[in-house]
Amino acid sequence: MSLNAESTAFRSALEVIRAVEPRVADAIGAELADQRESLKLIASENYASPATLLTMGNWFSDKYAEGTVGRRFYAGCQNVDTVEALAAEHAKELFGAAHAYVQPHSGIDANLVAFWAILADRVESPALKKAQVRQVNDLTEADWFALRRELGNQRMLGMSLDSGGHLTHGFRPNISGKMFDQRSYGTDPVTGLIDYDRVAEAAREFKPLILVAGYSAYPRKVNFRIMREIADSVGATFMVDMAHFAGLVAGKVFTGDFDPVPHAHIVTTTTHKSLRGPRGGMVLCGPELADQVDRGCPMVLGGPLPHVMAAKAVALAEARRPDFADYAQRIVDNAQALAEGLLSRGTKLVTGGTENHLVLLDVSGYGLTGRQAEQALLDSGIVTNRNAVPQDPNGAWYTSGIRIGTPALTTRGLGTAEMDQTAELIHTVLSQTTPGESKAKYVLDPALADKVSKQATELLAGFPLYPAVDLG
C-alpha cells in the first residue's frame, strides 16, 4: 500500500533522526501516541497542521537574520525576507492591522517588544529630546543613564493574575512587574466579571502610561471600545494581549467592540493556541508605533527564527481560508456546551459560564485544590491545568481552580454532544476524588481512573488526530 505525502514525510524524518539519536525519535513518536490517546483540554494548546509542522524543519533554521525585511545585519537573507514578508502580509489581511511584526519567539517576547516600543515612543525623556532623534544608537552613555532613571518610573495597569490576567501584565515576579510601577484591576467579587467603572476609577487614580487588556483565564468577552475610552481619558497607551483568543478574532467570532485590533494602539499575540499555528509571537500596531516595534531585534529579541516565521506564514494562510471561521465558531459552541454540561452536574464555574474558548472550574466545591484535581484528571486520561480563581485562598501554586479549553478538541472534530460526555467524565473523576493529607495529595480509586481513561480513549476513537499521518 502506498503512503500519502504526510506519512512519507514524517516517517522519513524519523528515520533520519533515528540514525543519529534513536531516543529522540522514540520520544517524538511517543508524544504523538500520547496526544492521540488523551483528552487535551488545556486552553492554551492546540494541534498545528502537518503543513505547519513540516515547515519548521528546513534550511531556514540555519540562517541568522537580525534586522527586518530589506534591512538585515547579515548578507544572504533574501529568502528569509520572502517568508517574513508573507507572514506579515497574511497577518495584516487576517486581522485588519496596519502593521505586523512576526519575529517574536513567544507571547512574552511579543509583550516585551510592545512595552519597549511604547516606552521609546511615549516617554518625554530629556535624553531623547537632547538627541532630537528616536534612534537608540545615537544616545550617549549619559543619555542612557538619564533615560534609565525615567523609564524605571513608568506605570502599568493590567488585569490581576487571580482574576484571569497573565503574569506578563504586571505580576511582580515577572519582568513586567519589575519594569513598571504596576497596579492591577480585578473583577467583581460576586459576578467575576470586569467592572469597567472600577477600571476607569483605578486609571484616573493611578494614571498609567500603559493600560493592558487581555487574559489567560477569563471566560468572558472584553469590551475593548470601553477600555480604549478609559485609556484615552487618562492619556494612556492601550495595549491588548490577545494570545488566547486570537483565533476567535481571526475567525470573526469576536467583532465590533470585542475585536481589539480597531481599538488598541498595539496588540500582541501568540501564533499557537486558538490560532492553531507554530509556537511563537506577533505584534500588530498602527504606523505610529511601527518603527519602534520593528526594532524588537536587537532591542529585546535575539536572532529571528526564520523557520518558525515560515511556519507562521503557512498557519496564517490557513487561517484566512473560509473554513477557519467555522472552526472558530465551533470552539465557542463547544466551550459553552462543556460549561452547560458541567453546570448541569453541579460544578461551580467562575462567572457561571463562558463566552469564549475556555471554562474555569472552581473545584473547591468538590473539596479539592486545583493541584489535586489536575493530577486526578491526568491519572484518568484528561489533560488540564490548575489555575487560580478570583481571591484564591490557595494561591497561585496550589490554586482552587482548573482551566479547560476547547480549541484542541475542536480541531479533532469533537462537537457539542462530545462536550457533554467530556463534562460527565470530568465530574465523575472530581466527585470521586478525596483530598489527602496535603494540598497536593489526593485519593482516587485506580480502577475508576482506569475506567475513565478508557472511556476517554473510546470517545476520541471516532476523531483521530492527524488521520493522514501513519508512522507504522
Q: Known catalytic residues?
A: 64, 66, 241, 270, 273, 279
Backbone angles phi and psi of 90, in degrees to 5: -60, -40
Cα–Cα dist 85/432, whole Å = 53
Q: 405 pairs with which residues across the strands?
A: 358
The kind and range of the H/E element at 362 are: strand 358-362
Q: What letter would DSSP give residue 234?
A: T
Cα–Cα dist 459/41, whole Å = 14
Question: Strand 155-159 relative to strand 181-185: parallel, antiparallel, unpaired?
Answer: parallel
3 state DSSP class of 240: strand
Which of these, 367, 360, 368, lies nearest to 384 by C-alpha position? Answer: 360
Amino acid at 225: R
CB contact set of 472 (below 8 Å; sequence gap of 6+):
11
Which of these, 309, 304, 249, lies nearest to 278 by C-alpha position? Answer: 309
- What distance lies between CA 374 and its chain's CA centroid? 20
8 A C-beta contact, residue 259 and residue 286: no
8 A C-beta contact, residue 290 and residue 267: no
Amino acid at 413: G
End-to-end CA distance of the chain: 12
3 state DSSP class of 29: helix
Amino acid at 213: A
Q: 100 pairs with which residues across the strands?
A: 284
Helix axes 416-431, 370-379, angle to 10 degrees: 110
